[in-house]
Amino acid sequence: MLEIKPESTFGRGYEVLVNGMSVGTWSSRVWRSGGQLDMAGETFEFRSGSWGRSFEMLAGGTVRAEAHRSGGHWLVTGEGGPYELKRPSFLRGKRQLVADGRVLGEFRSSGIRGGLTADLGDVPLPVQVFVGLVVLTLQRRQRTTVAASAGS
């Protein structure tokens, strides 16, 4: 089971765990989507582009995974892909990872500090983490939008 959880209450760092064991850390940026992921001895750059309608994860200048918004879902390419990231219901915050019409697993929010969990079976770990970071970023954007509209 994949878990991405905040390292502290107000920090920007996240710990990446698989089956309860730490496998990496993600340091998110303050003002823009993205950040640096250190996992399995590699450093990845996670970044957003195209007005927030795409994400990519690079290692050594090579794109290892990418996601592009297409209508109400995201098309994800990466090792073992392609995949789709779907939101089965607008009212539910959960998102599903789908390949060849089969649901591989579901990302669920965990805790009040903004973490998530997912059980994605045989999906390669870098792809699991990449899609998890996409989901976290989308959740953060949604919370920011809700907070801004509540304050006006």
Looking at the DSSP assignment, which residues form a beta bridge with residue 18? Answer: 2, 21
Local structure of residue 51 (DSSP, 8 states):
G
Higher pLDDT: 72 or 10? It is 72
What is the pLDDT confidence band of residue 92, given thresholds at 50, 70 and 90? low
Question: Rounded to the nearest 5 degrees, what angle is found at the Cα of 55, between the Cα atoms of 42 and 25?
Answer: 35
The pTM of the full predicted model, rounded to 2 decimals, is: 0.85
Q: Say what percent of the chain tops pLDDT 90.
A: 55
Q: Say what percent of the chain tops pLDDT 70.
A: 80
- The dihedrals phi and psi of 143, each to the nearest 5 degrees, come to -65, -40
Q: Where in the sequence is the domain holding 136, given as residue range(s)?
A: 2-150
Distance (Å, whole) CA 35 – CA 112 = 22
Higher pLDDT: 130 or 30? It is 130
Number of domains in the chain: 1
